[in-house]
Amino acid sequence: MIDPSFLRRGASGVTVDLRVQPRARRTALEIARGTLKAAVTAPPEDGKANDAAIALLAEAWRLPKSSFDIVKGASTRTKTVSVAGEPGALADRIARWMESHA
């Protein structure tokens, strides 16, 4: 299976490009036109939306929150999130999530 366009494998894990929508009506993680989007109800103040987005990813992909880190775009809607772990296993886990939410 080919990795989605928002995912890149690295030596110590993967990075994902994420578009965050703070103050959404409901919390949801979806893929729209090749972009991974996280809608969170938290406001974009004091990192609350970032924390909510990481919690959403961790729950959806069944990974500990401690394995996630925002490496780019902490104060913007478009972010790059690093996920620590074995790259192949993480890519497979994300692919399985995508199949179940297609």
Query: Which tokens is 28 given?
Result: 């949801």
Record: fold of 1-71: Conserved Hypothetical Protein Mth637; Chain: A; (3.30.1200)
The 10s digit of each residue's pLDDT in 26-59 is 999 999 888 999 999 999 999 999 999 999 999 9
The 10s digit of each residue's pLDDT in 73-90 is 999 999 999 999 999 999
pLDDT at 61 over 90: yes
**Residue 16's pLDDT is what?**
98
DSSP 5: T
**Residue 55's pLDDT is what?**
98
Q: Where are the domains of the chain?
A: 1-71
Query: Which tokens is 15 given?
Result: 């990075």
- Record the pTM: 0.95
**Residue 1's pLDDT is what?**
67
Query: Which tokens is 63 given?
Result: 């990974």
Q: CA 12 → CA 8, 35, 83, 87, 99, distances in Å?
A: 11, 23, 8, 7, 24
pLDDT confidence band for 101 (50 / 70 / 90): confident
